[in-house]
Amino acid sequence: MTASNQGLGIKRCLLFLGDITEPGFAKTAFGLRDWAGERCVGELRLPGATVSAGLPSLSPAQAAAQGARELVIGVAAPGGGIPPAWAPALVEALEAGLDIVSGMHVRLASLPQLLDAAARHGRRLVDVRNPPPSIPIANGLPRSGQRLLTVGTDCALGKKYTALALSRGLRARGMDAEFRATGQTGIMIAGSGMPIDAVVSDFVAGAAEVLSPAAAPGHIDVIEGQGSLFHPAFAGVSLGLLHGSQPDMFVVCHDPTRSHLLGYPHVPLPSIREVVAQTIALGRVTNPAIRCVGVALNTGSLDEHEAAAEIAALAERLPYPVADPMRGGPAFERLLDACCD
């Protein structure tokens, strides 16, 4: 069996941001802008939206005139629902000749307005969160090749970006590395992957085994992490992914400006040391040799000097290389060095 959703890389598209006001929920739009920007012609926001991907504001008809073939829902809000207030704009996109691509949990075809409009205009409704059938129960057996998993102190703080940057950096060094997507945005970027949070819980570890199968000794699968082992809602998928991935290495992703979990003001953010200890303790169930090789900081909200100071200060306190993969530089090269050891 191979990973699901082969051939689902996005085409030229219009990014739909709905009416969201929380930047953390626009990670799909931001991810596509940053890693597949040449395929994004613009964005569509509804009244009340305060979040923008910084792309030209276009109507569906204008986007179609500029070569867009799809409207991609760029929002990943908790629960994965599509609010009724979005329906008119989505129908307008279908009428303008755009297919709709969604990574939400709710199926597009379950919404009568969209199903009817798609049928009338001959357009497609594409759900990315579709795991393959017959995922096996995990066997937990050791397998060849190497695997690196990104883990986090929270959700939506850079696990996907870090995995993409690491896989790109390792390939630039001539290594046989491959990015393995586990979420809707990563699947849209890579064109394949496993929507791990849409898998029935008993099969999550098995799905991770399918996603990162046995490989040549020098091959490295860089696996996009999900959630956080400390998250009251999403720790389950994080644990199943950890066990099934059997990572030899992991990188902890962290946003130094956060004090609590995104959307959970009553839950303080765990420390990096706590995440390292918990990941090793739980990861040893399937890989006794699991080890932390570094820390990836999301310093996007800091200026260059603030970011450099934060990276340097943390590197002095921890026995691992620390870098912001999106800023690159010598610190990131040291992180890549650690992944190659």
Cβ burial of 67 (10 Å; 0-12, 13-18, 19+) is exposed
The per-residue pLDDT for 3 is: 44
- b/e burial code for range 248-263 (CB count within 10 A of at least 16 → b): bbbbbbbbbebeebbb
- Does the pLDDT at position 175 exceed 80? yes
The whole-model pTM stands at 0.91
The per-residue pLDDT for 81 is: 81
Structural contact between residues 127 and 113, judged by C-beta atoms closer than 8 angstroms: no
- Does the pLDDT at position 105 exceed 90? no
Tell me the sheet residues that pair with 15: 43, 72
Query: What are the chain's domains?
Result: 13-127 (3.40.50.720), 146-340 (3.40.50.300)
- pLDDT, tens only, 210-235: 999 999 999 999 999 999 999 999 99
Structural contact between residues 140 and 216, judged by C-beta atoms closer than 8 angstroms: no
- pLDDT, tens only, 140-169: 999 999 999 999 999 989 999 999 999 999
- Does the pLDDT at position 26 exceed 50? yes
Structural contact between residues 66 and 95, judged by C-beta atoms closer than 8 angstroms: no
- Does the pLDDT at position 5 exceed 60? no
The per-residue pLDDT for 4 is: 46
- Does the pLDDT at position 1 exceed 50? no
- CB count within 10 Å of CB 105 equals 18
- pLDDT, tens only, 70-80: 999 999 766 67
